[in-house]
Amino acid sequence: MKKTLMLHLSKVSHVATTTDCWTAHQQSFIGVTAHWTDEETLERRCAALACQRLKGSHTFAVLAGALDDIHCQYRIRGKVVRTTTDFIKAFSVFGEQSQPEEAELESDQDFSGETKADYLDTFTILEQDSGLEYQLPPHERCACHLLNLVAITDAAKAGEMNDAYKRLSRAAFGKCQAIWNKSGQSYMEAEIVESECKFPLIRPTQTRWNSRYTALERIIRIIQEKGEDATRNVCEKFKVKMLSPAEIAFLTDYCTMMKPVVKALNSLQSETNTHMGWLLPVIFQLKAKLSRLETSTKMCLPLIRAIQDGVQKRFGGMMEDPELIAAAILLPKSTWTERPDIIEAGLIYVRQHLDQMAEAGVEQVKQHSSDEEDFFSIKSKRPQGFFF
């Protein structure tokens, strides 16, 4: 299988990779996938390159070495045009970086807003491996991970904007968490939910925010279709507090306000139909939908404001990136922006690269013809001291 995959990759000019690491059963792993376009059929192809153990501390040098080694194994080190991952430190040291990552800048600032200086021992630096053998490709932040941060970290700041929202959200989410904890303790609790609600509860996972949204949506669906008595009976048997009418109204409004974020995540997490050209249209549509929801929300206006700030903070630079704009223009799906300056920036990027490609082609032809002329040309040299 590895030889067959290497044969396919040998015929490809450009490859993109993704990587992540995780811990399971007290063991650490790194996974790497490759993505490319078949140059004959123009179909998108992908394959898993590795899922191997990581031993020792997960330092940025260890992660960079493991990823670089996998690229070398499949002989694609010079073909990888972009790697999507959240190994920020590894790529800031060993990758091709045009500008410092936002997260790196945030980590280097103290609470006063002043930049902190890192003082390192010179002897330690000389003793350490320089790491020049690690050559990582350009780095791309995972858009789905950034949206998860918007929905979790940035959304939590809504409580700082409004005390009423903070109290109501904490009470509602706390009661839902108590129901989820009880429902997963044994099969008896699961049978209680099934007999009372006719729908099983969905327990959220810790790694993905959209699973939490799905779990909340299931509770709201049970209340709407089976009535409050069903959930009240479950809470009484579980010996947990029942959701109040205000908390139920809050959760309903919360799910309505966060639905555009869920749809954006689902669009960007597609396995086969999502390309880089989808990113900006999805983010621009998300911003537009959030703006329209401002007038219809009853309890979650601080949440929408926090989400809008988070999207601008984490995607603001991407929304002005000429490369991403050009990708969206070259993969048209809908009218995603009416700003002429953004469209013009993408068109300029496309024109410049077309001109560069044309110049490179002409230069290659000239070089080829000059080599032939040099090969067939006969240069006569007059001997020294003789006159004709």
Annotated domain spans of the chain: 2-112+127-141, 146-330
Task: Tell me the whole-structure pTM to 2 decimals.
Answer: 0.77
b or e along 87-115 (b: 16 or more beta carbons within 10 Å of the residue's beta carbon)?
bbbbbbebbeeeeebeeeeeeeeeeeeee
The string of DSSP codes covering 107-135 is: HTB-TTSPBPPPP--HHHHHHS---TT--
Closest residue by Cα to residue 165 from 253, 90, 82, 56: 253
Q: What is the spatial distance between Cα 292 and Cα 260, in angstroms, rounded to a whole number? A: 11
Residue 38: per-residue pLDDT:
87
Question: Are the CB atoms for 18 and 85 separated by under 8 Å?
Answer: yes
* CA 234 to chain centroid: 38
The answer to whether the Cα torsion of 325, 330, 333, 337 is positive or negative is positive
Contacts 24+ apart (CB under 8 A), 304-310: 304/257, 305/158, 305/161, 306/154, 306/155, 306/156, 306/157, 306/158, 306/161, 307/150, 307/151, 307/154, 307/155, 307/257, 307/258, 307/261, 309/154, 309/157, 310/149, 310/150, 310/153, 310/154, 310/155, 310/157
User: H/E element holding 21?
Assistant: strand 15-24
pLDDT tens, per residue, the chain with 388 residues: 999 999 999 999 999 999 998 888 889 999 999 999 888 888 889 999 999 998 888 788 888 889 999 999 999 999 999 999 888 877 877 777 544 444 443 443 333 333 334 444 444 444 444 445 678 888 888 899 899 999 999 999 999 999 999 999 999 999 999 999 888 887 788 788 888 888 788 888 877 788 899 999 999 999 998 888 888 888 888 888 999 999 999 999 999 999 999 999 998 987 777 888 899 999 999 999 999 999 998 899 999 999 999 999 999 999 999 999 999 998 866 678 888 999 899 999 999 988 887 777 666 666 655 555 555 554 444 444 443 3
* CA 218 to chain centroid: 26
Residue 387: per-residue pLDDT:
39
pLDDT in tens, 17-51: 999 988 888 899 999 999 998 888 888 899 999 99
Residue 300: per-residue pLDDT:
94
Residue 287: per-residue pLDDT:
94
